[in-house]
């Protein structure tokens, strides 16, 4: 795997396990390839050692005491073996360094992917918490606005009802007073007419035999006296009737006022109940908003904690496995270097032997 490959797919609880397993399998394949190359290098080194052993045996068994030809042949073998040993060691060193760099890049990529996943998970948790808080705040504002609107509407309706009741009472009282006054005046007029007619008829009967002028004078005088007395009595009766009607009107007015006050008190009670309900709804909305905020915060904290734990676990496992493989490759490299040093010592000793001969 290289730094340009796509990041692991992100699932709800962390990296997708299949993707992580595939990545680890690819790393194992690469390590197996490196191990195979190292094994091949070791095999080639052994072959060189075998060639050196064969050269040494050939030189020991040679019957010809002329060492010039044998020395040239041995020098060629030694030079070839040394070149091959150096080349194999350099190739092994390059392979190990390449593997080390690949592993380091892979570790860095995994760390970057884990951090990116953690950051995205934290951001998503924060967005979810913000959405929950925004929804709760919106519900709270809507509920509070509706409660206040209902309370205001009920108060306005109560005031309108009270005003309408007062207006109706005033109109009814004025109508009743006007009706009572008209009835009293009509009764006064009717009583006056009836009384005058009755007095006139009575006096005419009593004075039928008298002189016309005297009779008329007497009738007129007596009629005036009787009329005044009757008018006084009728007036008192009318005033009593007027007083009764007035008292009835006052009582009716008071009744209307009492009813109006009762309805107004009822309206004010309903308005107070609506205000209390609005305050209760507001308190409930505030409590719900606080509870929702706390729940969203706890969910976000839990998601973040789970993401951090899973990221640490993945990084720890990957780091441990890579360190083990790196240690194995380092051990192989040290072994190759030791074998190279052994070959160099052997070649040096062989060269010294050839020079001494």
CB of 128 closer than 8 Å to CB of 269? no
Q: 17-61 and 212-356 helices cross at what angle (nearest 10)? A: 10
In angstroms, the CA 319 to CA 327 distance is 12
Q: Is 351 exposed, middle or buried (0-12, 13-18, 19+ CB in 10 A)?
A: middle
Same domain, 117 and 88: yes
- Closest Cα partner for 249 from 162, 187, 174, 168? 174
Do 123 and 156 reside in the same domain of the chain?
A: no
Domain enclosing residue 45, as ranges:
16-142+321-356
Is 312 part of a structural domain of the chain?
no
Tokens of 209: 């035999």
Q: Could you tell me if residue 266 is inside a domain?
A: yes
Residue 10 forms part of a structural domain: no
Residues 178, 132, single domain; the answer is no
For residue 105, what pLDDT is reported? Answer: 77
pTM over 0.75, yes/no? no
Domain match, 273 and 198 both: yes
Block mean pLDDT (10 aa), the chain, length 357: 43 55 67 66 64 56 42 62 69 71 72 70 70 72 71 67 68 71 72 69 62 57 65 68 70 70 70 70 70 72 71 70 71 72 69 61
The reply to whether 6 falls in a domain is no
Tell me if 147 is assigned to some domain.
no
Instruction: Give the number of residues written for the chain.
Output: 357
Asked whether residue 232 is domain-assigned, the answer is yes
59 and 182, same domain (yes or no):
no
71 and 138 housed in the same domain? yes
Q: 278 lies in a domain? A: yes
User: What domain count does the chain have?
Assistant: 2
- Check whether residue 158 and residue 287 sit in a common domain: yes
Q: Based on the domain organization, do 255 and 347 belong to the same domain?
A: no
Domain shared by 179 and 49, yes or no: no
* Domain endpoint, select from 279, 304, 329: 304
DSSP H or E segment with residue 227: helix 212-356
Same domain, 266 and 349: no
**Residues 347 and 268 grouped into a single domain:** no
Name the strand (E) or helix (H) holding 3. none
Token duo for residue 350: 């062989």
Tell me how far apart the alpha carbons of residues 158 and 271 are, in angstroms, rounded to a whole number.
7
Q: How many angstroms separate the CA atoms of 30 and 26, rounded?
A: 6
Tokens of 110: 């995994």
For residue 315, is it within any domain?
no
Whether residues 118 and 160 share a domain: the answer is no
């Amino acid at each position: 795997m290289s730094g340009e490959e796509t990041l692991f797919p992100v699932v709800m609880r962390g990296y997708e396990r299949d993707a992580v397993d595939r990545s680890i399998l690819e790393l194992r394949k690469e390590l197996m390839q490196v191990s195979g190359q190292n094994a091949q290098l070791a095999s080639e080194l052994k072959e060189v050692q075998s060639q050196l052993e064969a050269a040494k045996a050939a030189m020991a068994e040679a019957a010809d005491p002329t060492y010039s030809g044998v020395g040239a042949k041995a020098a060629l073998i030694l030079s070839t073996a040394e070149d091959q040993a150096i080349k194999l060691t350099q190739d092994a060193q390059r392979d190990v360094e390449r593997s080390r760099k690949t592993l380091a890049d892979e570790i860095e990529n995994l760390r970057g992917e884990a951090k990116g996943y953690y950051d995205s998970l934290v951001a998503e948790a924060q967005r979810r918490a913000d959405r929950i808080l925004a929804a709760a705040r919106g519900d709270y504002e809507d509920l509070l606005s509706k409660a206040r609107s209902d309370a205001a509407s009920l108060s306005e309706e109560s005031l309108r009802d009270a005003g309408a009741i007062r207006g109706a009472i005033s109109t009814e009282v004025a109508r009743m007073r006007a009706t009572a006054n008209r009835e009293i005046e009509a009764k006064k007029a009717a009583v006056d007419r009836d009384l005058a007619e009755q007095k006139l008829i009575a006096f005419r009967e009593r004075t039928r035999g008298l002189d016309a002028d005297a009779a008329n004078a007497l009738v007129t005088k007596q009629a005036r006296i009787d009329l005044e007395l009757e008018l006084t009595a009728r007036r008192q009766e009318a005033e009593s009737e007027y007083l009764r009607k007035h008292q009835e009107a006052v009582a009716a007015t008071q009744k209307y006022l009492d009813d109006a006050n009762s309805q107004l008190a009822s309206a004010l009670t309903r308005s107070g109940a609506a205000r209390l309900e609005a305050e209760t709804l507001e308190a409930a909305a505030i409590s719900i908003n606080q509870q929702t905020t706390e729940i969203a915060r706890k969910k976000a904290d839990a998601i973040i904690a789970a993401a951090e734990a899973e990221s640490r676990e993945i990084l720890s496992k990957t780091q441990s496995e890579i360190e083990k493989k790196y240690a194995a490759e380092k051990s192989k490299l040290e072994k190759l270097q030791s074998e190279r040093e052994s070959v160099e010592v052997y070649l040096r000793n062989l060269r010294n032997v050839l020079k001494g001969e």
